Structure 1
């Protein structure tokens, strides 16, 4: 047996194996981060929509109330420290004065969501057009 050939072959095999393991581990970690970001993006997008829709509803329709409550829970679970703080400010205001301003939270969510999908920042305020059931009946 020629040990002069065996030793370089063994070293090459070991280096290749460790390189493959390191590459695999990095790939697994990258996929985990991507999945985490995708999940967070999905939940925060749904929360943004539910809060925006619920914000201007004049009814207490149970469907909207449930979606609104789920959005509050999602922001507390997956939102940034700033977003959770803005949500707490809103809830404190609701508890003490029966009214509150969700716009700062919605702007923070909008900015982060746009950042996550690599879109440019927008420094404009939010604007809404609310269509109620009464408006739809009048059009018919």
Structure 2
């Protein structure tokens, strides 16, 4: 084999190997980021759902374990703003046994929608509560819709 042929072939092989290694590394990093994003969104949606259910009920007691888990998930996967709002909620609950967490729920919703490339919905939130049939009166208690904004 001639040196004039061997040198360009060797250089080409080196560039191909380097290109493959770089492409593999970039693809691996992208896959890791996508999986992290997927897990984060999954857990934030779980926290969002628990808080929405709590907001729909007159008392937090029926789903206190889900709300506790939501706070844990927000500490683990939330943005700094979500963590701060979660801590505010936790502090208010500890001090007053009550808290308005609409701002927190809206923050989670808007973050997840942004991550999923969905349109921003603003600061309002819509909650529907339908009470079951009241056996004493044998009629449907009127549903109530609650829209709130901070």
Same fold (TM over 0.5): yes
* 1:93-122 deviation line (CA, Å, top 9, x unaligned): 112222111101001001101101101111
TM-score in terms of structure 1 length: 0.89
2-structure distance, mates of 1:58, 1:138: 20
Shift in alpha-carbon separation, 1:135–1:113, aligned structure 2, 3 A = farther
Aligned residue pairs total 137
Deviation for aligned residue 1:34: 0.5
Instruction: Give how far 1:24 is off.
Output: 0.6
Give TM-score scaled by structure 2 length: 0.83
| 1:84 maps to 2:50 | no
Greater shift in the superposed pair: 127-136 or 12-21: 127-136
**Deviation of 1:129 (Å):** 1.5
Q: Higher relative contact order at CA 8 Å, sep ≥6: structure 1 or structure 2? A: 1
The structure whose residues are more often strand, as a share, is 2
Structure 1 unpaired stretches of 5+: none
CA contact 2:47–2:74 (8 Å) conserved in 1: yes
- The offset of 1:124, in angstroms, is 4.3
Higher helix proportion (structure 1 or 2): 1
1:32 aligns with 2:32: yes
Aligned mates of 2:11, 2:42 — CA distance in 1: 46
Name segments (4+ residues, structure 1) moved above 3 Å: 132-139
What's the counterpart of residue 18 of structure 2?
A: 18
Distance 1:65 1:133 in 2: 21
> Residues 31-51 of structure 1: CA distance to partner in whole angstroms, max 9, x if unpaired?
010111011011101110111
* Partner residue, 2:92: 93
Deviates further, 78-87 or 90-99:
90-99
Q: Is the Cα–Cα contact under 8 Å of residues 106 and 125 in structure 2 kept in the other structure?
A: yes
